[in-house]
A and B are shown apart, each in its own frame.
Chain A
Amino acid sequence: MCVAVPMKVIEVDDVNCVAEIDGVRKTICVMTLDDVKPGDYVMAHAGFAIAKVDPATADETLRLMREIVESEERDR
């Protein structure tokens, strides 16, 4: 029930946005978020955007994980 899907915002009006994942577009309510702009990523849960996703932090997390793997591989 708590599954939410990250979607890319295509366009926004007062209450809703059109967001996309894997070519599928849906209308998502953005009443629970401020300042949603086209190009943002949001977590869509039961038709509502509950949070923004920070792609930079996601990239950083993955980079750190890879760095650990690579450093260990060098040490071997």
Chain B
Amino acid sequence: MRYIEEFRDGKLAAKLEQDLVREAARLARAITLMEVCGTHTMSIYRHGLRSMFPENVKMVSGPGCPVCVTPVGYVDMAIELARTPGVIITTFGDMMRVPGTSSALQKERGAGKDVRVVYTALDALTVAANNKNNEVVFLGVGFETTAPSIASTIIMAKKLGITNFSVLCAHKVMPEPMEALTSGQLKLDGYMCPAHVSAIIGEEGYRPIAGKYGVPCVITGFEPLDILRGVIMLVRQVADGRAEVENEYNRVVLPEGNRKAQAILADVFVKSSAVWRGLGPIPDSGLAIAPKYEAYDAAKKFGIVEPPSRENPACVCGEILKGLKGPQDCPLFGKACVPENPIGACMVSSEGTCAAHYRYGAGALAHA
């Protein structure tokens, strides 16, 4: 589609780089900005944007890769279900290699368990309709971008009277960890807010971060020109001494977000505390299935609870997800921990900071 091509225009990018240099020259000190979303991280690396950022503008990666932050204990629960006779596990493909304590779904499939990759949650419902003698469990992982589609699928299951379908729910929401990070150790000067999470939640969710903590927030698209504009808007806010929620991605994100999707989320889910791989528990950062839909809650249906997570003590992913360290600070990075055999959260998904750094990072090391 033409907009994708045009938002990658190299000539415009070179011009925006000049604008960025000019804005950065107005800064009184070096600043640190965080791109929260794993898809931003990937786009920044893939398009070599880090090398275009001025010396006094440092970008760090945040905890916004939903697969990466899914805790070991959740994967262990999914594996327990995969080993339960008669259960078919359905999942998005990027969950397959995520390591649990002693296995991964891919290994379970190799061992003959029925684990199926689907493109959309509705496909999992079709699997349930076609396999009435089995229990079909969908692994519900993802932020506000993904959660409405799983919520819609649960509504659809109820409407169609499909009773052999349930969701093992680990959905998370984005503003809460951002607020937790803002009030923590890392002194951030601005947030590049996730594009498609914002398509659902709009600008509202970030107001406390800008208002209460004085950290500028700019909702930014994923194309290279979007990202450059987003950084310019953040640097400009810092240089002006402002802290506001601005929307670079207004061709997709409405100020109020997607009201219908918000209503579907509010119908199917309730806010809950959630454990983030590398970050630990954060209050109100998760979505649990509401009591009225509990027949579709796999944890309740099968009576399983999430075991405590045990992570490799040498792994520094927790610090990386908080923006305090980079992949090059980890003793496992590129040695014991590689994309083919991920140990830590950030290497698990192709959108993780370590995976992006491993794949595209050589040229970006100077600014990392």
Q: Which residues of A contact B (CB under 8 A)?
A: 1-4, 6-8, 15, 21-22, 29, 31-34, 41, 43, 45-48, 50-55, 57-58, 61-62, 65-66, 68-69, 72
Structural contact, A21 and B264, CB atoms closer than 8 A: no
Measured between alpha carbons, how far is A4 from B251 in the docked complex, in Å? 14
Do A29 and B252 contact each other (CB < 8 Å), given the known contacts A1-B351, A6-B1?
no
Q: Within the complex, what minimum Cβ distance (angstroms) separates A20 from chain B? A: 10
Could you list 25 A-B pairs, sorted by A, with CB under 8 Å?
A1-B142, A1-B145, A2-B38, A2-B146, A2-B196, A2-B197, A6-B3, A29-B149, A33-B258, A33-B260, A41-B1, A45-B149, A46-B120, A46-B121, A46-B146, A50-B148, A50-B149, A51-B196, A51-B253, A58-B3, A58-B251, A61-B251, A62-B7, A68-B15, A69-B11
What residue in chain B is nearest A28 (Cβ atoms)? B120
| Size class of the B contact interface (CB-based, 8 Å) | 35 or more
A1-B38, A1-B349, A46-B119 known; 14 other A-B pairs, CB under 8 Å?
A1-B39, A1-B92, A2-B145, A2-B222, A15-B156, A29-B122, A31-B152, A32-B264, A43-B196, A50-B148, A53-B251, A58-B251, A62-B7, A69-B15
What residue in chain B is nearest A34 (Cβ atoms)? B260
Q: Within the complex, what minimum Cβ distance (angstroms) separates B171 from chain A? A: 12
Q: Which residues of B contact A (CB under 8 A)?
A: 1, 3-4, 6-7, 11-12, 15-16, 18-19, 37-39, 64-67, 92, 94, 119-123, 142-143, 145-146, 148-149, 152, 155-156, 194-197, 199-200, 222, 225, 229, 250-254, 258, 260-261, 264, 349, 351
Complex interface: chain B residues within 8 A of A31 (CB) = 152, 155-156, 264
Do A54 and B251 contact each other (CB < 8 Å), given the known contacts A32-B148, A69-B11?
yes
Other-chain residue from A8, A48, A54 in contact with B252 (beta carbon distance below 8 A): A54
Measured between alpha carbons, how far is A69 from B225 in the docked complex, in Å? 13
Measured between alpha carbons, how far is A68 from B23 in the docked complex, in Å? 15
Complex interface: chain A residues within 8 A of B1 (CB) = 6-8, 21-22, 41
Do A32 and B15 contact each other (CB < 8 Å), given the known contacts A6-B3, A43-B196, A46-B120?
no
What residue in chain B is nearest A29 (Cβ atoms)? B122
Structural contact, B120 and A29, CB atoms closer than 8 A: yes
Complex interface: chain A residues within 8 A of B252 (CB) = 43, 51-54
Complex interface: chain A residues within 8 A of B37 (CB) = 2
Most chain A CB inside 10 Å of its own CB: which residue of B38, B197, B253, B261: B261
Measured between alpha carbons, how far is A33 from B39 in the docked complex, in Å? 23
Complex interface: chain B residues within 8 A of A43 (CB) = 196, 199, 252
Closest CB pairs A-B (n = 8): A47-B120, A57-B251, A48-B149, A51-B199, A32-B261, A58-B251, A31-B152, A2-B39
Structural contact, B39 and A65, CB atoms closer than 8 A: no
Structural contact, B261 and A50, CB atoms closer than 8 A: yes
Complex interface: chain B residues within 8 A of A6 (CB) = 1, 3-4
Complex interface: chain A residues within 8 A of B7 (CB) = 58, 62
Structural contact, A32 and B260, CB atoms closer than 8 A: yes
Other-chain residue from B15, B119, B251 in contact with A72 (beta carbon distance below 8 A): B15
Q: Within the complex, what minimum Cβ distance (angstroms) separates B233 from chain A? A: 12
Structural contact, B145 and A29, CB atoms closer than 8 A: no
Structural contact, A50 and B199, CB atoms closer than 8 A: yes
Structural contact, A65 and B3, CB atoms closer than 8 A: no
Do A48 and B15 contact each other (CB < 8 Å), given the known contacts A1-B349, A2-B39?
no
Do A2 and B120 contact each other (CB < 8 Å), given the known contacts A48-B149, A50-B148, A69-B12?
no
Complex interface: chain A residues within 8 A of B195 (CB) = 2
Measured between alpha carbons, how far is A33 from B200 in the docked complex, in Å? 10
Measured between alpha carbons, how far is A2 from B94 in the docked complex, in Å? 12
